[in-house]
Amino acid sequence: MTTYPLLEALAAPQQVRHFSLSQLEQLADEVRGFLIDSVSETGGHFSSNLGTVELTVALFHHFDFLVDRIVWDVGHQSYPHKILTGRKDRFPTLRMHGGLSGFLKRDESPYDHFGAGHASTSISAALGMAMARDLQKQDFTSIAVIGDGSMTAGMAFEGLNQAGYLETRKFMVILNDNDMSINPNVGSLQGYLNQIISGQYYKRWRDRIEGAIKSIPVQSVSLRLAKAAKWSEESFKRIAVPGLLFEDLGFSYIGPIKGHDMEALLKGLAEAKERMADGPVLLHVQTQKGFGYTPAEKDPLKWHGVTAFDAEAGEMLKADTTKPAMPSFTQVFGKTLLDLARQDEKIVGITAAMLDGTGLNLLHDAIPERCFDVGIAEQHAVTFAAGLAVQGMRPVCAIYSTFLQRGFDQVLHDVCLQDLPVTFALDRAGIVGADGPTHHGIYDLAYLRCMPNMIIMAPKDENELKRMLLTAIYSNHPAALRYPRGNALGVPLDIPITPLPIGKAELLSEGSDLLITAIGSMVAPATALAKQLNASGISCAVINARFAKPLDEDLHSHWARRTRGFVTLEEGCEPGGFGSAVAEALGRQGISKPWLCCAIPDHLVHHGEPRLLMDEQELSQEALLRKISAFLATLSHSPN
C-alpha cells in the first residue's frame, strides 16, 4: 500500500510554511501520488490538477490561507488545495452524494474563500476581497490563481483593468499558463503568452544594461543619458516582451516561471511578495497539464475529466459492454449538424472551449472554416453569432445550459431584441450529476422563456432532436433546444427528418381523469406513468409539449377541460419553468383546475449520481407515482 509520510503527518497546512526545499519537493511528489491513486478510484477532474501541484505547495509555503485569501479559477484545478487543507481522508467520497465537492465551496472548508464552477471570476472576486480588506483596515494578501483557459474571457480583463487602476497593494494574480482549457486554448491571447515565453532573452538583456549603467560613476551620468537609457529600455521592452500588456494595465509583471520547478516558484513568489507592497503583481507561471503522469501528459484532453481508471496501466476501466451502447444526445446533435451543414453553406457552428463536449468536433474536423471555438467566452460567442446572423448566416451556438447563463444579456439584447435567427443548442440540460449546483442545467427554461421572440424546444428522443435542430435553424427567429447529458433512448435514426410545426405539441394518449403534460427528458417517464395509472383505472391523457414557447395552448386547454386536473413534468426549476407556462396559458383561457407541478423546487441541487438526485427531487419514476397518486386522492369526484 502506498504511503505518504509527509502528507500523513501534516496536521495543518501552516506546517508547510516551515518546510525546507527538499521537503516541499517531497510533499509535491506525495500530493501528486495521492491524487493519482485517489482519482483513479473515484474519477474526477484530473490532468488540470496534476498541473497545479507544485504551485499549490509553494503557495502554502509562502502564505497562511486562514488569514490570506485565494481564489482558484477554474475551480476544478483545486484538488491539491483540498488535499493540503484537511480533506485528504474525504477524497474517497469525491463528487459523490453527500461527499466532497469537485469545486471550492465556502461551507466545506474555511480555506475555500470563494466558490465557483464557471471560469474567469477569480480576479474580480479576489479584488473585491482586497478592497473590503482595505476599507475595513485589515491586513492580508489576496490572490487569484487563473488558468486552464480562464484568461480568455473578457471578465478576467475587466478585473485586471480595475485592479491596475486602483493600484491595489497586497494583491496578486497568478496566471497558470498551461496552453489548455479543456480543448487547446485558441485565439490571439494564447499566441501572446507564447511570445512572452519566447521573450526570455529580454530579461537577460535588461540585466546587462542595468549592470552597465550602474557601473558608471553617479556623478558622470547626465540627466540626458539617464533619459536615453530609460527610453531605450522601454522601446526595446515593447519590441521584445509582449508581457508589457500587463505592466501597461498597472501590474508589476514577473515571469514566466517554470511551474514545476519548486525552487523557481519559491523565488518568484518571494519576489512577488516584495513587489506587492507597491501595487498589484501578475506572476506568470508556465505549467503542463497532466504533469507527472505520462498518459495525461500525452493526452491532457482525454484525461481532463475521468472515470475510474487503472493507474498502473494508464487505462480507463471499461464499461459494461454486454449491451450495445446507445449514441449520446451530444453525438446525435453533432452528426446532424454536420449533415445539415454539408447541405447548406450558411450553417456555421460556434462553441466556447467545448468542441468535444458539445459534439462540434465533428463539424470542426470536416469543415473547419465554418466551426469556431472562441475560448471560454460565452458572451462573445453569442454576440459573434448575432453578427453572423445579421449577414445572412445561420449560426448554431452549442453551449452547455449552465454556461449560457453567462451570456444572458447578449442573448436578450443582441439576439432576441433584434429577432435574429441564432440557434442555441443547450447540452447538459437538467441534472448533470457529480459536478453539482454550478453545472446543473436546470434554469434555462426559466431564463429563456422571458425573452421576446425566443422559441424553446426540448426533444423526447434523439429522432425528435434531429427534427428540432432542423426546425430551429430555419425558424428565422432565435431558437433554443435543450437536451440532456448521456445516452439517448435508442429510437431509429434512419428516418428522413422533417421540420416540426412551431408551437405544436404531440398528443400521445387520450384520457378523461388526468392530463399529464411533459417536455423533453420527462416525456418517457410521463408515458410510463400513464400506463401504470391506466392499469389502476385512472384514464390519462398525455401530451408531449415539444415547445415550452410558444406553447400549444389549444391542445392543452382542450384536454385540461376534459380532465379533473393536470400534472406538468419537467427536468428544470419550478419557478418560471414549463409548468408555469402551462398554468399561465390555461389561466388565460379561463380554465381553473387542480394542478401538480413536478419540477425542481426553488433550492440548490447538490452533487451526486443523477438517479439519486432525481429521486431526491421527487422526479424519479417511483417518486412521481407517489406524488401523482397523492394528488389524485385530493381531486374532487364531482363531474367536470
**Catalytic sites, residue numbers:** 289, 378, 406
CB 326 within 8 A of CB 492: no
- Please state at what angle helix 329-343 crosses helix 462-473, rounded to 10 degrees: 40
H/E stretch holding 62? helix 53-62
Q: Which three cell numbers stand for residue 5?
A: 509520510
CA distance 279 to 139: 15
Tell me which amino acid residue 281 is: V
CB 596 within 8 A of CB 567: yes
Is there a cis peptide before residue 582, judged by omega within 30 degrees of 0? no
Half-sphere exposure of 160 (CA within 13 A, CB side): 25
CA distance 316 to 206: 49
Residues 6+ apart with CB under 8 A from 577: 445, 446, 449, 548, 570, 599
Residue among 421, 414, 399 nearest 346 (CA)? 421
CA distance 205 to 228: 16
H/E stretch holding 193? helix 188-198
- Please state at what angle helix 21-42 crosses helix 262-275, rounded to 10 degrees: 110
Residue keyed to cell 384536454: 559
- Please state at what angle helix 122-135 crosses helix 154-166, rounded to 10 degrees: 30
Is there a cis peptide before residue 217, judged by omega within 30 degrees of 0? no
Residue ranges of alpha helices (H) inside 75-168 are: 79-82, 122-135, 154-166
Q: Is the dihedral of CA 309, 183, 33, 147 positive or negative?
A: negative
Residues 6+ apart with CB under 8 A from 582: 517, 545, 551, 556, 566, 568
CA distance 387 to 383: 6
Q: Is the dihedral of CA 76, 81, 85, 90 positive or negative?
A: positive
CA 127 vs CA 64, 71, 169, 247: distances in Å: 18, 10, 10, 17
